[in-house]
Each structure stands twice: as structure tokens, then as C-alpha cells.
């Protein structure tokens, strides 16, 4: 299989090999070998714990990601195309961008209770301002000449939006989605650590109590694999498909 030897795969294999060599060279209970980590991972898979926790985390990631994208894209487009709205909302966006994630999380938990709603909302709130800023740039960069074509040829508002306006936002949507996923993974784990009784973040918290490095690395490994798979089977093909016309 040709794809297997792509540079991006080789780099990953190189990292694991380096890790193995380091673990042999500096034997310590705080640096387990890759094989020991894989053994722990296997044990978690067999017991079913891994699926429960990764599944719970994945569910939160998808929900809050969708929520953040929908709201952020909507507000971003409005702010990018209507200067009036931008003036009113701009300072709120700046505050949103700069408030520490931890503050949002704690406030959501205190005000809404230690529940699923608070957890999802906290994650989404952290992400929305970044989506807004990216899509605002996109809406500002929209080609006025093409909108004139739409006007002259009397396209309906729906066609004007979906066939002329929306495709121009693709690069910005992908940028927002990529950065968004990366950020949301990180924040979801913190949210879980602080106030949930399942999920990868919760598990990592448990392992931390016992200084169980093998467990921590096993979950990290599972997690990283999942992200790489999502990127390879979902984001990259979709992006390639939507960018066919650039070739």
C-alpha cells in the first residue's frame, strides 16, 4: 500500500521508535516503554472502559463543535458583512477571545450546575469567538464582482447565498473547523476533569492521582489515533473535494 509510506506516516513511526529507545536508555517508572503502554491500552479496550470514556468525550466534542460552528459562522458572517453589527459586537468578541477557558468553565458549572449542559456550553463558548473572527475575515474578503453578477442575472436570495457567497467562505470554514477541533479536544478534557464522571478527561484525572503514566499515555495514544483518523477520513477528503476547482 503506497499511502502507508507517506512522510506523515513515517514521522509517526519515527516518534514511536525514538520513544522506545529513550525508555530503554533511561529506565524509569515515569517513562514506560511503548509496549507497556500498548498493553495498558489493550487492557482498557478489553474491559470496555476505553470505549465508554472515549465515546463520552467524542459525543461532547461533536455536540459542542457543531454548536460553536453554527453560532460562530452565523455571527461571523453578519459581522463581516454589516459594519453596524460589527461595531456593536466587536468588543464582546474581543472579551470572549481573551477570557481564560478555565473562567468560562467554572462559571458555567457554578451557574448551571455540574451537568452536561454546562459542560457543552462551556466548551462552545470558548470556541465561538474564534469561529466568529475567522468567518468575519471570510465575509469581508467576499468578491463584490461576483455578487454583481448574481445581482445582474437576478439570482434568487437562496442561490445567491449558496452558489455565489458560501463557496467563497470554504477556506475560512476549514480553517475554523481545524483550529476548532484542536481547541475543543483540549477544553473538553479540562471540562471533564473538573466536573464530569466519565470521559477521557475524567480518566486522566484518576490516573493523575496515582501517577499512573501508563494509563495517561494509553488514553493519549487512543485519542491521538482518533484525531488522525478523523482528519484522514473526514476533513481532508472533504476539503479536497470542495477545492477541486482550484487545481
Q: Rule CB under 8 A: which residues touch another protein?
A: 145-146, 148-149, 151-156, 159, 163-164, 167, 170, 242, 244-247
Tell me whether residue 135 or residue 187 sits nearer to another protein (CB atom).
135
| Three-class secondary structure of residue 31 per DSSP | strand
Tell me whether residue 84 or residue 145 sits nearer to another protein (CB atom).
145
Give the Å distances, CA to CA, from 212 to 17, 33, 39, 77, 215. 22, 13, 14, 46, 6
Tell me whether residue 100 or residue 145 sits nearer to another protein (CB atom).
145
Tell me whether residue 20 or residue 159 sits nearer to another protein (CB atom).
159
What is the nearest approach in angstroms of another protein to the Cβ of residue 134? 19
Tell me whether residue 88 or residue 153 sits nearer to another protein (CB atom).
153
- Cα–Cα distance, 14 to 168 (Å, whole number): 39
What is the nearest approach in angstroms of another protein to the Cβ of residue 153? 4
The secondary structure element, H or E, covering residue 201 is: helix 200-209
What is the nearest approach in angstroms of another protein to the Cβ of residue 150? 8
- Cα–Cα distance, 189 to 203 (Å, whole number): 9
- Cα–Cα distance, 200 to 181 (Å, whole number): 16
What is the nearest approach in angstroms of another protein to the Cβ of residue 162? 10
Q: What angle is formed at CA 36 by the lines to CA 30 and CA 38, rounded to 5 degrees?
A: 120
Tell me whether residue 25 or residue 245 sits nearer to another protein (CB atom).
245
What is the nearest approach in angstroms of another protein to the Cβ of residue 149? 5
Of 223, 181, 184, residue with least CA distance to 203: 223
Tell me whether residue 107 or residue 146 sits nearer to another protein (CB atom).
146
Give the Å distances, CA to CA, from 208 to 41, 50, 78, 212, 239. 16, 17, 44, 6, 38
What is the nearest approach in angstroms of another protein to the Cβ of residue 131? 22
Give the Å distances, CA to CA, from 211 to 2, 49, 67. 41, 19, 35
What is the nearest approach in angstroms of another protein to the Cβ of residue 239? 13
- Cα–Cα distance, 95 to 72 (Å, whole number): 15
Amino acid at each position: 500500500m503506497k499511502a502507508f509510506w507517506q512522510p506523515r506516516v513515517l514521522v509517526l513511526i519515527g516518534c514511536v521508535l525514538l520513544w522506545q529507545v529513550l525508555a530503554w536508555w533511561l529506565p524509569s517508572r515515569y517513562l514506560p516503554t511503548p509496549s507497556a503502554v500498548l498493553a495498558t491500552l489493550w487492557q482498557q479496550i478489553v474491559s470496555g472502559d476505553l470505549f465508554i470514556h472515549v465515546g463520552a468525550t467524542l459525543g461532547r466534542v461533536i455536540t459542542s463543535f457543531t454548536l460553536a460552528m453554527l453560532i460562530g459562522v452565523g455571527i461571523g458572517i453578519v459581522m463581516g458583512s454589516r459594519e453596524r453589527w460589527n461595531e456593536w459586537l466587536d468588543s464582546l468578541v474581543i472579551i470572549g477571545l481573551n477570557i481564560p477557558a478555565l473562567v468560562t468553565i467554572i462559571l458555567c458549572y457554578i451557574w448551571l450546575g455540574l451537568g452536561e449542559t454546562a459542560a457543552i456550553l462551556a466548551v462552545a463558548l470558548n470556541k465561538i469567538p474564534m469561529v466568529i473572527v475567522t468567518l468575519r475575515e471570510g465575509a469581508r474578503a467576499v468578491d463584490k464582482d461576483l455578487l454583481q453578477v448574481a445581482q445582474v442575472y437576478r439570482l434568487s436570495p437562496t442561490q445567491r447565498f449558496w452558489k455565489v457567497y458560501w463557496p467563497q467562505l470554504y477556506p475560512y470554514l476549514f480553517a475554523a473547523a481545524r483550529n476548532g477541533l484542536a481547541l475543543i479536544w483540549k477544553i473538553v478534557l479540562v471540562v471533564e476533569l473538573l466536573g464530569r464522571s466519565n470521559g477521557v478527561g475524567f480518566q486522566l484525572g484518576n490516573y493523575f492521582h496515582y501517577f499512573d503514566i501508563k494509563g495517561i499515555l494509553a488514553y493519549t495514544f487512543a485519542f491521538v489515533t482518533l484525531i488522525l483518523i478523523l482528519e484522514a477520513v473526514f476533513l481532508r477528503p472533504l476539503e479536497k473535494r470542495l477545492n477541486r476547482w482550484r487545481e
